[in-house]
Structure 1
Amino acid sequence: MAQPRKPASRGSRRGRKPTSCTQCHLRKQKCDRNQPCNRCLQRGVAHLCGDSINSNGGFKHSQSPQVVSIAPPSPSPRPRRVTQPPMSPSLGTLFANRGARAFYGSSYFGHQVASRILSEEGQDLPAGISRGRDTLQSFRDESSSFAQVWDLLGLLPRQKSTVDRLVNIFLAEVNWSLDAVHEATFRSSYDEFWGRRFGFDDLANVDLRWLGLLFIILAFGVLLDSPPHPTLDVQREREEASLRFYWAARRAIVIAPSFYGESTDIVRAGLLVTRYLLYTRRVSESWLTIGFASRMAQAQGMHVDGERWRMTRKATEQRRRLWSHIYTIDRMISLALGRPYAINNQFCLTHEPENVWLDDMDDEEANRAVPQPLSLPTPSVLSSLLYRLAQVVGKIQEKCFGMERASYEAVLQLDANLVRWSEQLPPYFRLDNPDTAADDALPFLPWHRLYLHTSFHFARIVLHRPFLLRESITDRFRTSHEACMSSALADLKIRLRTMNSTNADSLRWAFGAHNLFNSAMILGIIAVKNPHSAQAGAILEDLEAYCENLHQDPWLNEFGMAELKVVELCISKAKDSRYTSMTAYPSGTPPEPPGPRIQAVDGSGRMRPSDLESPAMSSDMSSIYWPTVWEDGQFTFPGAADFSTWEQMITGIAEDNYGGQ
């Protein structure tokens, strides 16, 4: 019979006994067993150095982490006071965010920026944060969070001269037209980044928020640095390099909040990432990135005017312009996709930017600067006028494309607001015959004019598009027909005038709102619906010229090719209808078909619920009455790559309207 085991003595332990102090034992590092040990002295946590195991199997320290002092007796007894050790941070103290001003103040629940703590010489360090040679080892450890910094730095070109060239070409060719970054501030951070020490220098000195901004600038710089007529291999190489920098920027701005607080750098980086997606026509993705940028801006209090934070006038104007850009793109993308926008006006207390440019002044000069009249343009005028237009765009989405359908009278009222905005434009930004005398002296004016005009045409077409195919005996929808026609023709004229230019011009051109929609598709559908109208011949000629220019564009991506294919389909359908009419009827106008299909509308011009069948509700797409579906406020264009749906829709419109008007 086996003898029962004797219980082990209370003080005995089996297996290996730790020979390190508590701190080295937690980090699995070799300890010299001094009191305090050398590693704890290097980390600045000598007060925490102690034996890892005591006789009871627990931890003990050589020094007490707290010093307790009791006041001497007095007539009114005082409570016991506990004093924190000098090396321990006091409760509720926020370490300074690197250039980030949090609008919620110095709350204990705010950011604890570990990287800033590491970069400060002589800063009191909490337990567990090391400095020195062990820091470099932890950075290179794949399990360390700072390994992300190593990976991102490895994506930069090896030669600084390459980075210099790409940054310089972006600042010289594109930055001034977008108000993307303040060049002097960016170059100061750029010099600081390349001037940092290497070797055992802490990687916490690398600001990932600014690094994300650098990467997205490099993504644009690669495209700008391409030859005018690249070969297929060179083009593919440039596109792949640009995408690598783009993804590095996305990665940096997502990781950055884990290391730091917010800053304007991460907001500008998110805004440029959104513009990059608009350039590549990935509109659905841009809806996500502009939401991120708006959240980062709100976290810094940009939704409240800088005057309420008692900021300097220069900083206030910079924040106003940055917020207006975010607000405008948020409204435009949401209207294009039919999705909710990220910024709620009810929680914003902002002012539009003034017509004054303070970026090149110091604070004292900025305080004395006087806003210019609107007749003397500055780069700030664009953000101010776009901000006003975006407010109208937000009302369009709320009233016409929300959960309830708006009456046609509401649509006409919103159109009047758009027209009123256009009538208040200064002479150099007029929609018709603008004054171009100052274009040579102010190079930003032509591009700002293009951004304003295309934004207006985009908003007006989207507003009236549900009524483009709607007919009425009293011709009550004539305003929508004419609005869509005029804005689509004006936008196509801008496209034909500004295409086939340099890389920089093409890139600046792609930042306009016309990349949110395609006016050529609208004109193609108009030509299919009215192939025998007086304007149909001229429209088809312009569309053919547009398609020819696109075929010659070496940078046309798959999204542009899909839109080109749809436009060519519209041209083909319209020409077939015109040819059939001319051969079958010598007079050129076929008779009205018997028993035309009448669209059912109520007294307010709204479709009856029974006639509003959504495309998603029908399993047989060929049975859809496309003009009726088009009139549904919830209906948006199919994706350009969904060619089969486009073909069914255009064919249905052509068959329903066969016979001319």
Structure 2
Amino acid sequence: METSTDQSPRSISPLKVPRKRKRIVISCTECHRRKQKCDRASPCSNCLARNKQSLCHYENESARKQQLLEESVNRAAEDGGVYSVIKPAESNTAAQFSAFGYAKSNGNNNTTLGIFKKIEDNDTNGALISSLHSTSGDQSGLREEYKSLIRQLPAKPFIEQLVTTYFQEVNLQYYPLDEGIFRDLLKSWNNLSYSALNKGPLELSGDLQFFPGLLFQILALALQFQPPDYDPSLDSLKYAAAMSLDDLATDYSKSGSQILCLLGKRNTTLVAVQAGFLRTQFMKNCGLVPESWHNLSQTIRDAQEIGLHKEVFDHRRKPETTPEEVLENLWFEQLRRRVWMLLSLWDIHMAVVLGRPATIDSRDGKPAFPIDAPIPKNRREVAPAPRTDNDPPTPLTMLLWNVEVITPLWDIFNLEKEDPRQNNIAKVEKMHTLLGQITMHCPPFFRHQNPDTTFDHLPECSWLPAARQNFRNATNFTIMALHRPYIFTNPSSRTAALKAGLEILRAQRTFFNLIKVNHYKMFALVLNTFDAIILCSAIYILHPSENGEDLDDVLQHFNFCMERFETISPRNSMANDALSVLKAIHVRLKRALIQAKYPVNPLPTPAPSSTSASNNESPPEPRIKEEFPAKLPEQKNTATATPYNLPTISNLTTSALPPSVPTPGTSNAWYAFSAPLPTPFQNQNYDFSSIAPLQPMHDLLFNDLGTVDGGGGLDLSGGAALDAGWNGFEGDFGNDSFWGFMNSYHP
């Protein structure tokens, strides 16, 4: 049988490589296997419904996250939101590196993330470290927890009512929100369908995820500032008997804080930072000042997470961005700057007032300040431009000038560390001179003396009269903080601090006459007053023979302070604690003056402070000679009665010493007051430099400062009965503190 030539060996062709699937699978493995539509959550809703969470995973995690990011951007762009146009230019793998804690935009390339970005830029195929997977934790239950929290939001009519209250009564105090931008977000939130919310927060854009947290804080503050005759329809929001609006406000604020905690820190936005700041403000108004300090520190960290502390605003925009969106984003950039400026202001102010560390490092520098530009009705039509002299001031104008005055607190804060023994008097005097120069450039409409009232009649400037007193308060607080560490060792600092403290008390009294009852919860009504009156009292207790020309004013304002604290105590939790300390200090102050043989007459009860004064008109300063008739005889020597004028340094350093012997026309009472006396301090050669710097609010809030009997049984009429029923101050303060010294001081 012949072999057929057809059966010759055939050439073996190489096997074809199976064609790869071009379409990337972004569904989870279970949904892909079952051919179901996947919502790409982790775990997805289908796996949750089937109780198969453990089987829900993704073959290409990076592609899934990139798809979610693109869809989020597209949804936000369709809404026309300003927050959606500007997005960080970051690769997916770089974002995965950021999950390890590296800063996304720290301004340098020295970190591991910066080095990786350099390598990634040189990688042409984009396949570098493609196997890196996210280590995000289990997200089961996130959707239900989020929904349970947002269910606590009241109905839309109540939300609108309380939001209006917030922007009328609260936002003008510190100006953390832009009403137009907030209203746009509120509209987007109200337009969300139930099906969109039912998918969970990860299906929403970043700002909308955190928006209910911000909304809860706004509702809480609006409830906090309700008048006594509030709208009775708000009672329908209460869910239990004997529940107050304050209880409801606390619930709302806690719910907002829980939303921020639930969503975590990896996708923080400006909305979350604003919510954190409002939470800080709410807690301070509740008297939870230590807790608010911690919350402020966390909010600053959130702000740094999104780069508010550096000028890293990404100006790259999509090609399809319209001119209107460009203008809107310019205003958004101004808002970012404003929020960081406000956080910086609060950080240093709370550090100085409370004696706590600052979160922000002043050596890092500061980004550009926002432009003092009038907010237009439509941000899509006008670019930010500085206001002219003919434009009325805005709350931002006030905020910018407060920053000018309070920014020196950073130098004061650092000086306390550099000069713990209070020896650098020359630097203190130089800084005092610079502070005087800042105040001399204050705009005329912010001056409390002979102000320019051109804009006072405008409805949008109804806040201006009260703002003048706030600026006066901030100016003198900086001066008082500068000299406060030196009052135990330096006579010129005692005089400067006393004058500044007395100006704060005057400003606080005038401010109190301008506000309404619903503002009594403002923490500044207690913080600023308490610091000033304790400092003034300490100066006269330890050095009763100095600054006699201001003693009557201090005693009278001491009485005004106690009257105000009595008035606001039903609505202000801090006022009660501060009042008991003031009464006890009043005892020691009068004892010191009696020991100095100064005839201290009982103070007359002043007329009740008017709480219904017009907001457009500042009440006149109290006329001391009329309200306090027991006035010291004036000195014949005019050189010793030279008034204190800022910023002349000679007024700080020149000691106005009273005559050592009575001169013709000088009363025996004045001689007895001004002559050197053998006080217990002098007999013991007491070293006042051993007393720690005075920080009244820190001791009141952090060291549980109080009196044994609460000050309620004190006899303030003078004489031997002053000490009856009082065993001293109690609290966790050191032996070198002013309060410990007062407990051992028995003149």
Structure 1-normalised TM-score? 0.69
Residue 336 of structure 1 corresponds to which residue in structure 2? 353
Mind listing any 5+ residue stretches in structure 1 that lack a counterpart? 1-22, 50-58, 67-83, 115-127, 130-137, 471-476, 601-624
Take 1:402 and 1:358, find their aligned partners in 2: how far apart are those partners?
Answer: 42
1:243-642 matches, cutoff 5 A = 243-257=250-264, 261-305=267-311, 309=315, 312-348=329-365, 350-358=367-375, 360-366=377-383, 369=385, 371-373=387-389, 377-401=393-417, 405=421, 407-430=424-447, 432-441=449-458, 442-470=461-489, 477-499=490-512, 501-506=515-520, 510=523, 514-515=527-528, 518-531=531-544, 533-579=548-594, 588=669, 589=672, 592-593=677-678, 597=682, 627-632=688-693, 637-639=698-700, 641-642=704-705
- Helix, strand or coil for the counterpart of 1:366? coil
Q: Deviations over 1:560-619 (max 9, x none)?
A: 21111111112122223445665999955377227854999xxxxxxxxxxxxxxxxxxx
Q: Does 1:217 align with 2:227?
A: no
Q: Could you tell me how far 1:229 is from its partner in structure 2?
A: 9.7
Residue 8 of structure 1 corresponds to which residue in structure 2? none
Q: Does 1:190 align with 2:186?
A: yes
Identical pairs, percent: 18
Residue 73 of structure 1 corresponds to which residue in structure 2? none
Q: Could you tell me how far 1:634 is from its partner in structure 2?
A: 9.5
Q: Could you tell me how far 1:177 is from its partner in structure 2?
A: 4.0
Contact map agreement 2:531 2:696 (CA 8 A) in 1: no
Residue 652 of structure 1 corresponds to which residue in structure 2? 741
Q: Deviations over 1:323-344 (max 9, x none)?
A: 2111111111112223332223
Contact map agreement 2:372 2:396 (CA 8 A) in 1: yes
Q: Deviations over 1:455-495 (max 9, x none)?
A: 2222222221122232xxxxxx3331222112211111222
CA gap 1:486/1:392 in 2 versus in 1, 3 angstroms: same
Q: Does 1:108 align with 2:87?
A: no
Amino acid in structure 2 at the alignment position of 1:296: D
The correspondence for 2:161, drawn from 154, 161, 165, is: 165
Q: Deviations over 1:337-389 (max 9, x none)?
A: 2333222344345112222124534345216x454249853333223223333
Contact map agreement 1:267 1:297 (CA 8 A) in 2: yes
1:71-220 matches, cutoff 5 A = 96=72, 99=83, 105-106=90-91, 108-110=93-95, 144-157=141-154, 159-198=155-194, 201-204=198-201, 207-220=208-221
Structure 2-normalised TM-score? 0.62
Contact map agreement 1:461 1:488 (CA 8 A) in 2: yes
Residue 654 of structure 2 corresponds to which residue in structure 1? none
CA gap 1:650/1:343 in 2 versus in 1, 3 angstroms: closer
Take 1:599 and 1:398, find their aligned partners in 2: how far apart are those partners?
Answer: 33
Q: Could you tell me how far 1:439 is from its partner in structure 2?
A: 2.1
Considering only aligned residues, what root-mean-square deviation do their CA atoms show, in Å?
Answer: 4.6
Q: Deviations over 1:501-548 (max 9, x none)?
A: 4244445x5458955953222233234335564433432222122212
Q: Deviations over 1:204-249 (max 9, x none)?
A: 2563421111111111111223425999x99971221111112122
Contact map agreement 1:573 1:654 (CA 8 A) in 2: no
Take 1:584 and 1:217, find their aligned partners in 2: how far apart are those partners?
Answer: 52
Contact map agreement 1:94 1:108 (CA 8 A) in 2: no
Out of 341-350 and 410-419, give the one that drifted further: 341-350
Mind listing any 5+ residue stretches in structure 2 that lack a counterpart? 1-25, 45-53, 77-82, 100-132, 233-239, 317-325, 601-666, 708-727, 731-736
- Helix, strand or coil for the counterpart of 2:505? helix
CA gap 1:567/1:596 in 2 versus in 1, 3 angstroms: closer
CA gap 1:163/1:376 in 2 versus in 1, 3 angstroms: closer
Contact map agreement 1:457 1:487 (CA 8 A) in 2: yes
